[in-house]
Amino acid sequence: MSGFIKKKKYGQNFLTSDRIPARIAAESGITSECGVIEIGPGLGVLTKQLLAVAKKVVAIEIDTELIPILTEKFADEENFRLINEDVLNVDLDKLIAEHFPDMPVCVCANLPYYITTPILMKLLEGKHGFITITVMVQKEVAQRLCSKCGDSEYGAITASVNYYASVKRLFPVKAGSFSPPPKVDSAVIRFDLYDTPPVAPVDENTFFAVIRAAFAQRRKTLLNALCTAFSDRLSRDELAAIITEAGLTQDVRGEKTDNKTLCFISDKIFFNINGGNQK
Ligand code: SAM
């Protein structure tokens, strides 16, 4: 371990004690039946705790220099595998089929903050059947992801993750718990993924286009936002009628609109554009 110099470019702020990793593992919902994918094991502080609670851990680490360190540290652990790869390039379905063919799978990570959103969206959009995803993120990101519709922090990312999972803030973590300390405090959050999502749009692409439109410009009305996004396919009058049908007023703002209503709107838009049976 001596001689390893932490790399800022990989977001290497390592947890310095066992206390926080142990709490992350304890509150992650991971059981002795579970396989775990850990993203960014670093020097292995969280890995050690995950190995204590899970059946098997597969860790994905981008930094080649950490591979011999981790290999040596966990040499005696039969249920540990290490993949030297950028997580964004890993085929997770293949990994799951290879390493966890008959296990429920969870994800756990102290995330590299520079790619928090792409990692989370890859994990959620991929529909890999994860039971839980427990991650350390920046405090502000945690606030945003755990906010409720109508809160000032609620945005497109919140609406998107809420489609896949319920999100809960587990506990805060001070910057001083890391080496080197990041510029911001952090928090651990947990996603419990839905077997059946609470809203079921007929077309996910339209649903996410409606979410993007609704939150793109906060001061715009939902009607104006939808006009900008769909003006090539629907008239203003058609969109206004859909908003009325959804039980909303014409001056409602997108940011105040929950997923159930956005789903209703997206289905109407989809059927207006494509024809077919309406709900
Ligand atoms: N788990 C360790 C801990 O809690 O102390 C390290 C966490 S550190 C915040 C983030 C880790 O993710 C680092 O080990 C870093 O090298 C790794 N990492 C950064 N980018 C990555 C990527 N694209 N794919 C896989 N690992 C990555």
Residue 155 near ligand 1, beta carbon < 6 Å: no
Q: What is the predicted pLDDT for the residue at 275?
A: 85
How many Å apart are CA 111 and CA 41, to the nearest integer? 9
Q: Which domain holds residue 219?
A: 204-274
Tell me the best of 13, 28, 39 to mutate to test the pocket of ligand 1, counting ligand atoms within 8 Å of each CB and taking the most.
39
Q: What is the predicted pLDDT for the residue at 277?
A: 59
- Index of the ligand 1 atom closest to the CA of residue 86: 24
Q: What is the predicted pLDDT for the residue at 230?
A: 96
Q: Are residues 29 and 156 in the same domain?
A: yes
CATH of the domain at 243: 1.10.8.100
Tell me the best of 110, 113, 120, 185 to mutate to test the pocket of ligand 1, counting ligand atoms within 8 Å of each CB and taking the most.
110
Q: What is the predicted pLDDT for the residue at 207?
A: 98
Rounded distance from Cα 38 to ligand 1 centre (Å)? 9
Task: List alpha helices for 30-126, DSSP H.
Answer: 45-53, 66-73, 92-99, 116-125
User: Would residue 279 count as lying in a domain?
Assistant: no
Q: Are residues 45 and 156 in the same domain?
A: yes
CATH of the domain at 139: 3.40.50.150
Sign of the C-alpha dihedral, residues 61, 119, 189, 93? negative
Q: Are residues 58 and 186 in the same domain?
A: yes
User: Would residue 41 count as lying in a domain?
Assistant: yes
Residue 45 near ligand 1, beta carbon < 6 Å: yes
Q: What is the predicted pLDDT for the residue at 278?
A: 56
Q: Which of 165, 193, 221 is the last residue of a domain?
A: 193
Q: What is the predicted pLDDT for the residue at 56?
A: 98
Three-state DSSP string of 135-147: EEEEHHHHHHHHC
Q: Which of 193, 215, 234 is the last residue of a domain?
A: 193
Residue matched to tokens 């039980």 = 247
Q: Are residues 119 and 23 in the same domain?
A: yes
Secondary structure class of 276 (helix, strand, coil): coil
> Closest residue (by CA) to atom 11 of ligand 1?
40
Q: What is the predicted pLDDT for the residue at 256?
A: 86
Q: Are residues 54 and 166 in the same domain?
A: yes
How confident is the prediction along the chain (279 residues), in pLDDT tens digits per residue? Answer: 568 999 999 999 999 999 999 999 999 999 999 999 999 999 999 999 999 999 999 999 999 999 999 999 999 999 999 999 999 999 999 999 999 999 999 999 999 999 999 999 999 999 999 999 999 999 999 999 999 998 999 999 999 999 999 999 999 999 999 999 999 999 999 999 999 989 999 999 999 999 999 999 878 899 999 999 999 999 999 999 999 999 999 999 988 899 999 999 999 999 999 986 555
Domain count, the chain: 2
The whole-model pTM stands at 0.95
Q: What is the predicted pLDDT for the residue at 254?
A: 87
Tokens encoding 16: 């310095």
Rounded distance from Cα 268 to ligand 1 centre (Å)? 43
Q: What is the DSSP string of 155-218?
A: -HHHHHHHHHEEEEEEEEE-GGGEESPPSS-EEEEEEEE-SS-S---S-HHHHHHHHHHHHHST
Q: What is the predicted pLDDT for the residue at 210?
A: 97
User: Would residue 35 count as lying in a domain?
Assistant: yes
